[in-house]
Amino acid sequence: MKILLTGGAGYIGSHTAVELASAGYEVVIADNFSNSSPVVIDRLETITGKRFPLYEINVADKAALEKVFEENKIDAVIHFAGFKSVGESVKVPLSYYRNNIDTTLSLMEVMDKFGCKNLIFSSSATVYGKRASLPYREDMETGPCTNPYGWTKLFIEQIITDHAKADPDFSAVLLRYFNPVGAHESGLIGEDPKDIPNNLVPYIARVAVGTLPYLSVFGNDYPTKDGTGIRDYIHVTDLAKGHTAAVNFAKNHKGTEIINLGTGNGTSVLEMVKAYSAASGKDIPYKIAPRREGDIAECYADATKAMELLGWKTDLSVDDMCRDSWNWQSKNPNGYK
Ligand code: WQD
């Protein structure tokens, strides 16, 4: 089977390419490198021994996307391409709605034209909004989202769901990621945010490697075990294996299935700082700062459905995440640059 990864040179996409290849799938990558690096393609060849066909295109460009489908018989698509910064989405909402929804509509129209009926979508736990009770379950109500990025994910889930209702042969699997962190064990690929990281672990990694002076802990007065925010961090390799499990499941599936990809466990900011310091052998200086707008106190998955439906669960621990993140960061202090 040949799988197209839109945004396949990105953080989650590149790790998924590795796991799909090792499971025997053929991989094609479409990416415009707006938030990734062409170096990733070389690194993927080093890891897998395969040079994946690459189309440097904007997925919203239907003519360019049709060329991919003309030149490859695509059996399924995993749609990673999209802007993903919560903070940036608040500053430039129109570009987030334009980009994330246009890429999806163009992709689905081209898939329809070429009779490709199998879509796996990179969604996010952020669609559960602020109201959700813990642990988050797939059958819970969603929204209201706390930022435009989250709304784009929720709108795209609805677009895909409506299309799957209209086409009884269509299979859609919507994967709601919790907090992906870590890197491939080789240290050749990893998370490489464009600017100052918004997310906790890549920020800690920069402090550990010395390119940032200290971490600001956004609030220590939350109603949690140590007052700091709790999240369900998932190793990116476990997450990638969840995509392979979803591709296998989708072979005999029609309709729409929503599945959480998380560990089911919560870790606080201060626990993550301690784990990273132990994994890297580096002191991680931090200062307590005010809460960040839009943050919630606690969030973690009910991971039951992924186990029941996909036969998949996470294996790697927070210590593994920190070890592999540090291995990547220390070998690539400036990312892919
Ligand atoms: C985690 C915890 C912060 C940075 C977001 C998106 C989600 C997904 C993952 C894309 C919180 C605290 C953080 C820092 C801190 N992205 N923190 N200092 O906000 O849970 O989720 O990223 O899909 O959709 O919503 O992740 O890593 O930003 O924050 O104290 O410098 O770390 O307050 O408690 P978040 P995060």
Least Cα distance to 156 among 126, 134, 132 occurs for 126
Q: How far is the CA of 298 from the centre of ligand 1 (A)?
A: 11
Spell out the residues 6+ positions from residue 114 whose beta carbon is closer than 8 angstroms to its own: 66, 69, 74
**Mean pLDDT in the chain?**
97
pLDDT tens readout for residues 209-221: 999 999 999 999 9
233 included as an active-site residue: no
CB 243 near ligand 1, within 6 Å: no
Spell out the residues 6+ positions from residue 304 whose beta carbon is closer than 8 angstroms to its own: 264
> Of the listed 149, 222, 276, 300, which one is catalytic?
149
Residue 135: asked if its preceding bond is cis (omega within 30°), the reply is: yes
Spell out the residues 6+ positions from residue 149 whose beta carbon is closer than 8 angstroms to its own: 83, 84, 85, 86, 88, 89, 96, 100, 124, 126
The mean per-residue pLDDT over the stretch 148-153 comes to: 97
- DSSP, collapsed to helix, strand or coil, labels residue 313 as coil
- DSSP, collapsed to helix, strand or coil, labels residue 168 as coil
Nearest CA to ligand 1 atom 28: 199
Rounded to whole angstroms, how far apart are CA atoms 128 and 143? 5
Q: What was the pLDDT predicted at 1?
A: 96
Neighbours of 308 (CB within 10 A): 10
Q: What was the pLDDT predicted at 294?
A: 85
pLDDT tens readout for residues 32-57: 999 999 999 999 999 999 999 999 99
Spell out the residues 6+ positions from residue 186 whose beta carbon is closer than 8 angstroms to its own: 46, 47
Strands (E) in 162-299, as ranges, are 171-177, 179-181, 215-218, 230-231, 233-235, 255-261, 267-268, 286-289
Q: How far is the CA of 287 from the centre of ligand 1 (A)?
A: 16
Rounded to whole angstroms, how far apart are CA atoms 31 and 58? 7
CB 265 near ligand 1, within 6 Å: no
Cβ atoms 172, 107 nearer than 8 A: no
CB 124 near ligand 1, within 6 Å: yes
CB 262 near ligand 1, within 6 Å: no
Is residue 131 scored above 80 in pLDDT? Answer: no
